[in-house]
Structure 1
Amino acid sequence: MAKRDKAEKKKPLDKASESKPSAPVEKTPEEKKRNYKDGIIKTIVPALIGTAAGFFCFFQLGSGTEFPWLSVMLFVIIFSYYAQRLVYPVIGIDLKEFGKKDWFYVEFITIDFWLVVWTLLLNPL
């Protein structure tokens, strides 16, 4: 009990030594516009790749019962990852800004579009 009281009584002598969170850096309107444009591109490219993969799987694999679905999905993930690594620098997106979360996001969009397109094509109207 006495140790806890002593620990509670200890206070830093210098308020300047306490670390305060730094204020967020304001972005210029040009940077905001560029980030917005890049975000749209980072959404459209995986959507197009996923749609193309869905059509490819429909026309080449049909119902896809000859191959394990996990193998097909792994192929789509690997193909789309390398396709995006080639496409983004060509259209002016800096790959150095991509983190793990960004790659997960674009791959999720790709897989989502691939599955939706392939499923819609497999189901007759």
Structure 2
Amino acid sequence: MVEEKQLDINNEEEIKKSPTDKVDGHRERMLRTGIACFMGMLTGILSYVIIGNPSVSPGESLSILGWLFLLAGIVFQKHIFMVFKIDYTKLGGKDWFYQAFMTFAFWFISWTILLSLQ
């Protein structure tokens, strides 16, 4: 009974959003996605420049640095959100998973493309 009332209240709040609130929310989500994509490409390029091709020298295992760059790119997004005045405290686990996945996807794609150009 209590859960049904809470769900109804949440649904009413979603319905009562004005068009400008919806547009602002959409812009914020697009900005967050853009930041994740940019950080993925940046970490992919950084991985290529610093590590190069990890299979060239099998004795040195520098490929772990690529993963560390990826992790740093995911964590650093929180600080970029602060610069753009995005309230990162309201992001849940699903949102952070999305941010991390988008960063990973662009990191992987950009590093792979750069490695295939050699």
Same fold (TM over 0.5): yes
8 Å Cα contact 2:40-2:106 kept in structure 1: yes
Note if 1:93 corresponds to 2:93: no
Residue 75 of structure 2 is aligned to residue 82 of structure 1:
yes
The alignment covers a number of residue pairs equal to 107
Deviations 1:77-109, CA, capped at 9 Å, x for gaps: 420232111100110210111100001000100
The reply on whether 1:67 has 2:71 as its aligned counterpart is no
The residue type paired with residue 18 of structure 2 is: T
Structure-2 change in CA distance of 1:55 and 1:97 (3 Å): same
The percentage of counterpart residues that share the same residue type is: 24
Query: Which stretch of structure 1 is more off in the superposition, 58-67 or 104-113?
Result: 58-67
Letter in 1 for 2:61: F
Which structure has the larger Rg over C-alpha atoms? 1
Structure 2: gaps (5+ residues): none
Establish whether residue 55 from structure 1 lines up as the match of residue 49 from structure 2.
Answer: no
Over residues 3-49 of structure 1, what are the superposed CA-to-partner deviations in whole Å (9 max), with x where a residue is unaligned?
xxxxxxxxxxxxxxx56451612211121011100110111001101
Distance in 1 (CA, whole Å) between partners of 2:116 and 2:70 is: 23
Structure 1 residue 68 displacement after superposition? 6.0
Q: TM-score, normalised by structure 2?
A: 0.79
Q: TM-score, with normalisation over the residues of structure 1?
A: 0.75
Gaps of 5+ in 1: 1-17
Question: Structure 1 segments of 4 or more deviating over 6 A?
Answer: none
